[in-house]
């Protein structure tokens, strides 16, 4: 009986780690990710707290990194598996011009990048 109980506990833990998903939060900005682009690839938002709803419609994992005009990373999402989605919140975006890109090897160079204007 003891072995059965341990096996059941393992199944429960795996189920709990289902990953991202769910539905788009109110007020968030939807960004679709594919190989190798974002849609839209030009985004404008008011300064402050911004939530991106990242939808990976591609067939490999992608992420979204925000870089300021000095090439410093100001925020980075988790890696999102193919077919998954994730609410990515940046708490305090200052006004300015940014770029966003995918930091998986070769993706940015293949065109997976865009412009973010914060006003
Ligand atoms: Cu990518």
pTM, two decimal places: 0.82
Domain count, the chain: 1
Burial class (CB in 10 A: 0-12, 13-18, 19+), 63: buried
Average of pLDDT values for 93-99? 97
Task: For ligand 1, an ion, list residues with CB under 5 A.
Answer: 62, 102, 104, 107, 112
Domain membership flag for residue 7: no
Q: How far apart are CA 114 and CA 107, in angstroms?
A: 12
Decide: helix, strand or coil at residue 104: coil
Over residues 2-41, the pLDDT tens digits come to 555 544 444 444 433 334 568 999 999 999 999 999 999 9
Establish if 9 belongs to a structural domain: no
Separation of CA 79 and ligand 1 centre (Å): 9
Q: Quick check: is 109 in a domain?
A: yes
C-alpha to C-alpha distance for 38 and 110, rounded to whole angstroms: 12
Average pLDDT on 56-77 reads 97
pLDDT of residue 14: 42
Q: Which CATH number belongs to the domain containing residue 75 in this structure? A: 2.60.40.420
Instruction: Express as a percent the part of the chain with pLDDT over 90.
Output: 82
Q: Token pair of 20, please?
A: 């991202």
| Enclosing domain of residue 80 | 21-118
Span from the CA of 49 to the centroid of ligand 1 (angstroms): 24
Average pLDDT value for residue range 103-117: 98
Residue 3 domain-assigned (yes or no): no
Bridge-based pairing state of the strands 113-118 and 48-56: unpaired
Measured from the Cβ of residue 94, the count of other Cβ atoms closer than 10 Å reads 10
Query: What's the CA gap between 85 and 27, in Å, rounded?
Result: 16
Q: Examine residue 45 and state whether it is found in any structural domain, yes or no.
A: yes
Confidence of residue 80 (pLDDT cuts 50, 70, 90): very high
Cα 60 to ligand 1 centre (Å): 7
- What's the token pair of residue 3? 């072995």
């Amino acid at each position: 009986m003891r072995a059965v109980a341990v096996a059941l506990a393992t199944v429960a833990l795996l189920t709990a780690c289902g990953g991202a998903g769910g539905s788009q939060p109110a007020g968030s900005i939807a960004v679709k990710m594919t190989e190798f682009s974002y849609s839209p690839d030009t985004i404008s938002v008011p300064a402050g707290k911004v939530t991106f709803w990242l939808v990976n419609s591609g067939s490999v994992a992608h992420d979204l990194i925000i870089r300021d005009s000095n090439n410093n990373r100001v925020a980075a999402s988790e890696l999102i598996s193919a077919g998954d989605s994730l609410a990515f919140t940046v708490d305090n975006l200052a006004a300015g011009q940014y770029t966003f890109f995918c930091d998986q090897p070769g993706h940015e160079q293949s065109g997976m990048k865009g412009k973010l204007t914060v006003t």
